[in-house]
Amino acid sequence: MSNVNKKDILELKRRFKKDDCTFSRLCGCYVDGERNKVTTFGETFLNLEEEELHKYLEIAKKTLSGTLGNNILHLEYPLEEEGAGGKQQFLMGLKSSGLKNDELVDAFFDLIIENYYYPGNYLILLFMDAYDVMTKTTDNNKLDESEEVYEYMLCAICPVALSKPGLGYREDENRIGSRIRDWVVGVPDTGFLFPAFVDRSSDIHSLLFYTKNPKAPHNELVENGLGLTSKFTATEEKLTFQGIVKHVIGEEDEEAKGLFMEIQSNINDLIPIPEEDKEPEPVPMTVSTMSSVLSDSGVSKENIEIIEKKYNDIFGQAVPEAGHLVDTKILEANEKRRERLQLVEQVENLKQQLDETRAVSIEDDVPVTKTYDVILRVKPEKVSQIHSEIINGQKCLVIPMEEDEHAAVNGVNTTV
């Protein structure tokens, strides 16, 4: 299966403007917290009032926003769903009707309501579009001829919540009073694009599934409602991997934290630096690659074997990309940790150097130790002039000084 890329999605999103969009129809169903259909509607999209049209276009854009592999998942239909009675076949029939078959549209709303678990009110929206995909040359210039007409449906499921309480001007009473609260449609929580738009062409064997929250995608809708096999988002892969490793190596003491940070940095080193206008090839984090990273990071052989088994049991053949397992905050924290450790090492080296230079000599060849109370450093020609005398009953060292000679005591110039 070819994978969708950013350019494919951007090409569609750029058209979601009043003067460029070609949405032909919009259908909707407002559902309350008890899964009752409050109201349904179907309209020609371009007949909408201008303000409403812009709001719906914003919702459509949001349903194709976020990061591929995290907020947007490219999911392929199993063969059994493409036969009679399959979910893919149902969506194909709905698309072919142009959303003008009320029974099919109503059956679609029932399918969503039965398989989408949400505790509050929400709005199901279904857009229909036919995009005349223009031919492009190798330098991305458009030619005035069509490659194909890409017909697709865009579904958005938006939470509907009461506006916040507050004060406002009540015009009918000419006073400030409690604002009337009403039900407001929010940004999409979940949605999908069918068929998927891959390499600027329709792929009826797959769709793009959108989730606002990559930590908790609605897999019940993916599997039971749309008939697809769910897969981890990048966020789920990252959190799952972190859980596996931390469970084995620990996370309470500083040593374990430092070890986990090194693992993150070593995984990040596997990721190629992106070139201009070119996405880097993803690096699959196979079991053998992951084991090498753990070994290079200092994880024991015994713990590596435990992590290998857990990793393989959870991910199997659907191995994550290396980039999905990296936490940028942990990488930044590890850089600071490494700088701190380097500073500590430098201080230790300086201490060692100081200890090694404790012994000094008067002529740089006669060692002395710190047990001496007085240590002198003088020019070689002065050594023979030094003698001791008893002055006021006290034994003293006498160093004759000429008028043009200078002395320093403990590094400070002294006049004598």
Give pLDDT tens digits for 402-416.
Answer: 777 777 776 666 665
Number of alpha carbons in the 13 Å side-chain half-sphere of residue 290: 27
Please name the residue ranges forming H helices in 233-279.
Answer: 234-249, 254-268
Q: Per-residue pLDDT averaged across 327-354, rounded? A: 87
60 has a pLDDT exceeding 80: yes
What is the reported pLDDT for 141?
A: 60
- The amino acid present at 99, given as its one-letter code, is L
* Furthest CA-CA distance within the chain: 122
CA 288 – CA 262 distance, rounded (Å):
18
The answer to whether 64 touches 12, Cβ cutoff 8 Å, is yes
CB neighbours of 97 closer than 8 A, spacing ≥ 6? 104, 105
pLDDT, tens only, 159-187: 999 888 888 888 888 888 887 778 899 99
How confident is the model at residue 70, as a pLDDT? 94
Query: Model pTM?
Result: 0.77
Q: What is the pLDDT of residue 373?
A: 66
Which of 4-8, 75-79, 178-182, 292-296 is predicted least confidently?
Answer: 178-182
Across 24-49, average pLDDT: 95
Task: For residue range 261-270, list pLDDT tens digits in order.
Answer: 999 999 999 9
CA terminus-to-terminus distance, the chain: 92
Q: In this predicted model, what pLDDT tens digit does every residue of 282-325 receive, in sequence order?
A: 899 999 999 999 999 999 999 999 999 999 999 988 899 999 99
Q: What's the average model confidence in pLDDT over 115-132?
A: 95
Does residue 399 register a pLDDT over 50? yes
Cα–Cα distance, 168 to 155 (Å, whole number) = 35
Task: For residues 234 and 225, give the distance between their C-alpha atoms in angstroms, rounded to a whole number.
Answer: 22
If you ran DSSP here, which 8-state letter would residue 100 be given? Answer: -
Residue 9 to residue 74: CA distance in whole angstroms = 12
170 and 176 Cβ atoms separated by less than 8 Å: yes
Q: Which residue has the higher pLDDT, 138 or 164?
A: 164
pLDDT of 93 over the 80 cut: yes
| E-state strands within 199-304 | 201-203, 206-211
Cβ atoms 399, 405 nearer than 8 A: no
Phi-psi region of 188 (alpha: psi -120 to 50; beta: other; left: phi over 0): beta
Instruction: Determine the Cα–Cα distance for residues 375 and 409; give it in Å rounded to an integer.
Output: 11
Residue 145's pLDDT is: 66
Asked whether the predicted pLDDT for residue 362 surpasses 50, the reply is no
Lookup: tokens for 358? 């404790």
Q: Is the pLDDT of residue 89 over 80?
A: yes
Mean of pLDDT values over 199-228: 95
Residue 216 phi/psi, 5° resolution? -145, 70
- Tell whether the model's pLDDT for residue 361 goes beyond 60: no
401 or 357, higher pLDDT: 401
